[in-house]
Chains A and B, each alone.
Chain A
Amino acid sequence: MLLSMSWRNVWRNARRSIITMTALSFGVAGIVGMYSYRELTYGVMVRDITTGLVGHLQVHGKGYQDAPSIGTLVANPLQVEAVLQGALPGAKTERRVIGAGLAGSGDRSAPVMVLGVEPGATALYRMSAGQDFTGQPHEVLIGKDLATELDVGVGGELVLVSQGADGSVANDRYVVSGTFTSSSAELDGTAVALPLAEAQSFFALGEGVHQLVVRLPVDREDVGPEVNALRAALDVKTLEALSWTEMLPQMKASMDTKRRSQGVMDFVIFLIVGLGVFNAMTMAVFERTREFGVLASLGTRPSRILAMVMLEAFWQAGLAFVIGVSLAALGLYGWGTVDLSAMMQGDVMGVRMPTKLELGLDPRALGGAAFTAFFTAFAGAFFPALRAARLRPVEALRHT
């Protein structure tokens, strides 16, 4: 009975209720919309990071992260891979060699990042022209923008020079098999990819690699437990294991900072909306003083009056939540795909920001928004409700 009474009461002053609900709905829509947009962007970025250049985790020779050096190696990567499979079942690993060098073609030359990758096992790049490694000797793939800079195309000749881990002058001549794009503008502009074995011989590394990139069968940001499990299994005297958040600390910090500042925004939005609810409910209670007096003199207990007023707030919050989420969904899906390529040139902290974003509702936004909407409505309504419950029937009836 209270439910239907409070529902009717919401519509007794429809205009005021609609205004209250509109304020609440816009608050909900704003929060859900911004949350979804932000988390979607982060989701794409994190997926790019964890499937591409960085992976969820990496194993290096000890000290590599702080001071990457061509001679700091995982000396026996296959053994380490076996240990890793034991500690993290289902994880995918990829061996990688990374070194700096100079690439030349014709009269042009440029500093480059030389990557040794496992052909077929890497998700580092997508071919943009030519073909992936075919197994021919002396094949290289190069970043699309680097190809432009060096003015070399598919089938062209590329000379690489660097320094081997033994100090020798690494130099050789290769044929460009294809050009690629990746999840990082830096790679597109500076990377030369060689099959792992060619890179190992170029840099005189033997079987050694610089990075064992680990991809976990999960899709989440925090991989702390996995890092700890891996550290427990590895020989930490010669190796180090790091999560992507440890390798890109600024990235994680910036994401968390933005989340926190968003939290503050949400709080401010609902503080304002909450005050609006408080005002509306105070007015509603004040106008109905005589009514509450009648109810009380008929023997309605104060707790039931309190519950009834609170339920009125509940109905409004509930309606506002549904409307707000619908508005957010309408906006997000209605917008569809955002093309940020004009706005986002280059990398943000080593990772290319997603240029095309499929907008949609992030379900994780709903819980928080629902909690905030209901909490705000309840907090705004509580004191007016309490006031209604505490009215003394005689005084209330005399109220004009």
Chain B
Amino acid sequence: MNSALLALLLFAAPEAAPADLPACPSAEEKPDVKLLLKRTERVLEGRSSVAVMRMAIKTPAWERAVKMKIWSRGRDFTLVRVVEGGPRETGMMTLKREKQLWNYLPQAGRVMKLPSGMMGDSWMGSDFTNDDLVRGSSLVDDFDARFEKSVDHEGSPAWSITLTPHASASVVWGKIEMRIDRKSCMPVEQRFFDEDQQLARRMTYGDLQTIGWRTYPMKLTVTPADQGRQTVITYEHLELDVDVPDDTFSLRRLQQGKE
């Protein structure tokens, strides 16, 4: 085998996971939850991302779908642009810079800042909140995690974890119950409880695919406690840990209606 072929093989091989990524402790009955969540979040979010996703919303009154493109860098910067949707929302953008959120409204041709305290409200009528969309809170930083037990989730072994928000965290949930698949270390289900400890919604992760070194859930389904509603997000394209230019997240560009 000559060196050129070897080089080709090496480059074609799957990208290696970063060295600082904790290993998936599949064998452990009772893993270190802090470490586990850190890993999960690192894999799911990456340092940055560019994605195209389709969001289908179903309610008793109506059904609709939009296609959107999302750019993100860390937890502080996110831009969402609706690329396909109804005439009033195509071109709508949501920009998150640190703690603040702005919407560009295409029909109005204006940018509106979202008042603080509305992070828990629905984004575009979906069952996702503004907070979900821009990943405003971190499971590792904003919650206390407690390992519950090993469970069987739809035929596969999983860990059950309970997350309660820190008193100081600006989180809209009272509690999150989470199940993480032991084999992939990916979440399979999250149950969100409101401040009165009532189940508010259930989020499931499905359609695991290999993206670079990651095994990534390409489909997210949110089913709120309200009957007859559901929102499904499917990734059509996803790149993680890529370079995103600085001015993507510029408020001035948003005001001009440019992505």
Given contacts A102-B115, A111-B115, A161-B103, contact A168 B89 (CB under 8 A): yes
| A102/B112 contact (C-beta < 8 A), A161-B105, A168-B88, A169-B92 known | yes
- A335 CB to closest chain B CB, in angstroms? 45
Which residue, A163, A165, A171, has most C-beta atoms of chain B within 10 A?
A171
| Chain B residues touching A, range | 20 to 34
Bound CA span A171–B88, Å: 7
For the complex, what is the distance from the CA of A108 to the CA of B102, rounded to whole Å? 11
Task: Tell whether A167 pairs with B125 under 8 Å between CB atoms, given A109-B114, A110-B115, A159-B112.
Answer: yes
* Cross-chain contact A111 with B118 (CB below 8 angstroms): yes
Partner of A173, one of B88, B92, B103, B109: B109
Interchain nearest-CB distance for A70 vs B (Å)? 9
* Interface residue from B61, B86, B108, B110 paired with A165 (Cβ < 8 Å): B61
| Residue pair A159, B108 in contact (C-beta under 8 Å) | yes
Please tell me if the beta carbons of B124 and A169 are within 8 angstroms of each other in the complex.
yes
Q: Is A170 an interface residue (CB 8 A)?
A: yes
Q: How far is the CA of A171 from the CA of B82 in the complex (A)?
A: 14
Partner among B63, B103, B108 whose Cβ is within 8 Å of the Cβ of A172 = B108
Q: Is A293 an interface residue (CB 8 A)?
A: no
Interface residues in A135-183 by Cβ distance below 8 A to B read 157, 159-161, 163-173
The reply to whether the CB of A395 lies closer than 8 angstroms to some CB of chain B is no
A167 to B64, CA, bound (A): 7
Interface set, chain B 81-140, CB cutoff 8 A to A: 86, 88-89, 92, 103, 105-110, 112-115, 118, 122, 124-125
- B89 contacts A161, CB within 8 Å? no
| B226 CB, min distance to chain A CBs, angstroms | 10
| Contact residues of A: prevailing secondary structure | strand
Among A102, A107, A159, A169, point to the contact of B125 (Cβ < 8 A).
Answer: A169
Nearest-neighbor residue (CB-CB) of A163 within chain B: B125
Cβ-based interface call for B59 (8 A): yes
Chain A residues with Cβ below 8 Å from B112 are: 102, 104, 109, 159, 161
Chain B residues with CB below 8 A from A168, complex form: 64, 86, 88-89, 125
A130: min CB distance to chain B, Å: 21
A349 to B115, CA, bound (A): 26
Residues on B with beta carbons closer than 8 Å to the beta carbon of A171: 88-89, 92, 105-108
User: With A107-B113, A161-B105 known to touch, is A169 a contact of B88 (CB < 8 Å)?
Assistant: yes
For A163, list chain B residues within 8 Å (CB). 122, 124-125
Q: Which of A109, A157, A160, A167 contacts B57 (CB 8 A)?
A: A167
Contact of B115 among A109, A157, A170 (CB under 8 A): A109
| A-B interface pairs (CB < 8 A), number | 72
B62 contacts A by Cβ under 8 Å: yes
Q: Complex formed: what's the CA distance from A104 to B109 in Å? A: 12
A165 partner residues in chain B, CB cutoff 8 A: 61-62
CB within 8 Å of A: which B47-84 residues = 57, 59, 61-64
Residues of A within 8 Å of B89, CB to CB, are 168-169, 171
User: Does A71 touch B at the CB level, under 8 Å?
Assistant: yes
Identity of the chain A residue whose Cβ is nearest the Cβ of B90 in the assembled complex: A169
A167 neighbours in B (Cβ, 8 Å): 57, 59, 61-64, 125
Cβ of A221 to closest chain B Cβ, rounded Å:
36
Minimum CB–CB distance for A352 against chain B, Å: 25
- Residues 166-206 of A, flagged 1 when their CB comes within 8 A of B and 0 if not, give 11111111000000000000000000000000000000000
Contacts of A93-136 to chain B: CB distance below 8 A: 102, 104, 107-111
Which chain B positions have C-beta within 8 A of A110? Answer: 115
Contacts of A169 in B (CB 8 A): 86, 88-89, 92, 105, 124-125
* A71–B115 alpha-carbon span in the complex (Å): 25
Q: Is the CB of B109 within 8 A of A170?
A: no
B64: A residues at CB distance < 8 A: 166-168
The answer to whether B107 touches A172, judged by C-beta atoms less than 8 angstroms apart, is yes
User: Closest Cβ of chain A: how far from B82's Cβ, in Å?
Assistant: 8
A173: B residues at CB distance < 8 A: 107-110
Q: Which residues of A contact B59 (CB under 8 A)?
A: 167
Q: In the complex the two chains form, what is the Cα distance from A113 to B92 in whole Å? A: 22
Which residues of A are interface residues toward B (Cβ below 8 A)? 71, 102, 104, 107-111, 157, 159-161, 163-173
A-B contact pairs, 9 of them (CB 8 A): A104-B112, A109-B115, A110-B115, A159-B112, A167-B125, A169-B88, A171-B106, A171-B108, A173-B109
For the complex of A and B, 7 pairs with smallest distance between CB atoms: A104-B112, A171-B105, A169-B89, A173-B108, A167-B62, A71-B61, A168-B86
| Given A71-B62, A159-B105, 18 more pairs with CB closer than 8 A | A102-B115, A108-B113, A109-B113, A109-B115, A110-B115, A111-B115, A161-B105, A163-B122, A165-B61, A166-B86, A167-B63, A167-B64, A167-B125, A168-B89, A169-B89, A169-B105, A171-B88, A171-B89
